[in-house]
């Protein structure tokens, strides 16, 4: 069913009103608002009024999911302030590297043995289902740059990193499905050199360089300009676009570049705070001066023009406005992607996807977490929570759309999309119901441990 612009605008406006009202109603409920988005998608799709019927091979869906993931990756990167050697960041690297590979391998094996899929299609399915989702993980992610919970840091950074580290596996799966002959050693070596050894580090370096350089220049310009309203929000769009395009232009992974640019922009703020210190109380008398707080925590309505010229407050202005826009893009992307997922269920629901979800959430993800975090300082209950809270969503849908536009979802892989979409919907419901209570329990346990003085909880 095609819609003209006016009808699409009307549906979009009504959707955002319903989402805003629904989110407010669910604020104190032990469920995530993503379940509400999914239900709206089902109601708007062929199961309901038939107002929309997206297909995984629609070019616009590829771009929609791409933009949604980019915005969320940048927003996630901006929240990361932990030291490089912190337990949370070390755990995230392990989860996004070997942990992701273990998860993908176990899903592929399960799909082959339990569902009878060919190995090439099973590899593609394992790859698209392996990454966790930065868009839907807001309940378990770092709530703000102030958050020092190591488990949240690990899950936030993992979701940012593995959307890039999964791309080589997805590319390999697409290559396996579309190749006329089995992959030989030469093809595998070329893939490893080009899509792993080059594309992964190059994406990280390019994004970090753009984020760091842009941040340092923006902070200096802001300190000289003082009060300039409404300009810094554009920095987020510019950094995301430049990082992504620059990385893709040299065949590096743009997703990794965007995440790294957000992290680097935050690191540039840390450097300014370390060198310039906090503003004098005579300049900013009503600010809460806390050297552990992020610079953008200094932004309050009463900040004077004189205070805005202080290097730290200038950095605060840039990070405050940039983070605000990034957060808005993240929320809009989440709404659009999950609504589309709900609408696609009418054509794509496959009961076998429930079996796939069981393999992923009860075997593959927990095994990947337990193996990679075996020597980490996290408590057993934290590892168990991390093993369960591997939320799937926009990243998986993007990879499916990308594979479809590469011509890889036919033949032996014809059912990959249906299985994956069913699994994503299952994840949204299961994790939407369980994430809030589990995370609240972990937070209470941390608070109780700290108050009792028994042992320090693991922090970033």
205: its two tokens:
């370096």
pLDDT at 33: 81
> Does some domain include residue 253?
yes
> Does some domain include residue 224?
yes
> Does some domain include residue 130?
yes
* pLDDT tens per residue, range 143-188: 555 556 788 888 888 888 888 889 999 999 999 999 878 888 999 9
> Does some domain include residue 459?
no
Instruction: Say yes or no to pLDDT of 453 above 50.
Output: no
> Does some domain include residue 458?
no
Tokens 């893009």 sit at which residue?
Answer: 329
Compute CA distances 62 → 159, 209, 251, 408, whole Å. Answer: 19, 27, 19, 14
Of all residues in the chain, the percent with pLDDT exceeding 70 is 81
Give the count of domains, the chain. 1
> Does some domain include residue 460?
no
Selection from 362, 418, 444 nearest residue 57 by Cα = 418
* pLDDT tens per residue, range 49-64: 888 889 999 999 999 9
CB atoms within 10 A of CB 262: 29
201 lies in which domain range?
Answer: 5-452
Which stretches within 26-55 are classed as H helix? 34-44
> Does some domain include residue 298?
yes
pLDDT at 458: 55
* pLDDT tens per residue, range 218-266: 888 887 776 556 566 788 899 999 999 999 999 999 999 999 999 999 9
Helix (H) / strand (E) containing 350: none
CATH classification at residue 319: 1.20.1530.20
pLDDT at 456: 44
Please state the rounded mean pLDDT for residues 279-290.
Answer: 49
> Does some domain include residue 57?
yes
């Amino acid at each position: 069913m095609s819609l003209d612009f006016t009808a699409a605008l009307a549906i979009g406006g009504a959707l955002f009103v319903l989402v805003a009202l629904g989110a407010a109603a669910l604020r104190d409920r032990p469920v995530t608002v993503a379940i509400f988005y999914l239900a709206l998608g089902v109601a708007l799709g062929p199961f309901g009024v038939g107002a929309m019927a997206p297909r995984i091979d629609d070019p616009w869906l590829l771009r929609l999911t791409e933009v949604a993931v980019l915005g969320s990756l940048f927003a996630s990167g901006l929240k990361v302030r932990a030291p490089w050697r912190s337990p949370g960041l070390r755990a995230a690297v392990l989860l996004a590297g070997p942990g992701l590979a273990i998860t993908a391998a176990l899903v592929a094996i399960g799909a082959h043995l339990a569902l009878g899929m060919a190995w090439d299609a099973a590899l593609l399915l394992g790859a698209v289902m392996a990454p966790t989702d930065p868009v839907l993980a807001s309940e378990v992610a770092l709530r703000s740059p102030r958050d020092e919970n190591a488990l949240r840091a690990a899950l936030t950074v993992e979701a940012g990193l593995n959307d890039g580290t999964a791309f080589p596996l997805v590319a390999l799966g697409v290559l396996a499905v579309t190749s006329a002959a089995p992959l030989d050693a030469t093809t595998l070596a070329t893939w490893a050199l080009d899509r792993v050894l080059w594309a992964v580090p190059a994406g990280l370096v390019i994004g970090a360089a753009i984020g760091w350089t842009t941040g340092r220049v923006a902070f200096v310009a802001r300190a000289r300009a003082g009060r300039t309203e409404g300009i810094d929000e554009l920095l987020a769009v510019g950094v995301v676009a430049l990082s992504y395009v620059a990385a893709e232009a040299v065949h590096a992974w743009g997703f990794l570049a965007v995440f790294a640019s957000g992290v680097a922009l935050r690191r540039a703020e840390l450097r300014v705070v370390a060198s310039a210190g906090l503003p004098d109380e005579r300049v900013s008398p009503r600010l809460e001066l806390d050297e552990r707080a992020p610079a953008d925590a200094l932004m309050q309505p009463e900040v004077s023009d004189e205070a805005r010229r202080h290097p730290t407050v200038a950095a605060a202005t840039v990070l405050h406005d940039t983070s605000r826009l990034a957060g808005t893009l993240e929320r809009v992307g989440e709404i659009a992607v999950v609504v589309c997922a709900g609408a696609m269920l009418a054509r794509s629901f496959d009961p076998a996807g429930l079996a796939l979800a069981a393999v992923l959430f009860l075997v593959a993800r927990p095994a990947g977490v337990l193996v990679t975090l075996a020597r980490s300082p996290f408590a057993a209950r934290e590892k168990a929570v991390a093993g369960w809270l591997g939320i799937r969503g926009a990243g998986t849908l993007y990879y499916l759309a990308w594979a479809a536009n590469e011509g890889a979802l036919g033949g032996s892989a014809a059912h990959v999309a249906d299985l994956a979409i069913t699994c994503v919907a299952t994840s949204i419901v299961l994790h939407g119901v369980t994430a809030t209570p589990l995370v609240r329990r972990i937070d209470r346990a941390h608070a109780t441990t700290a108050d009792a003085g028994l042992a320090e909880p693991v922090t970033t």
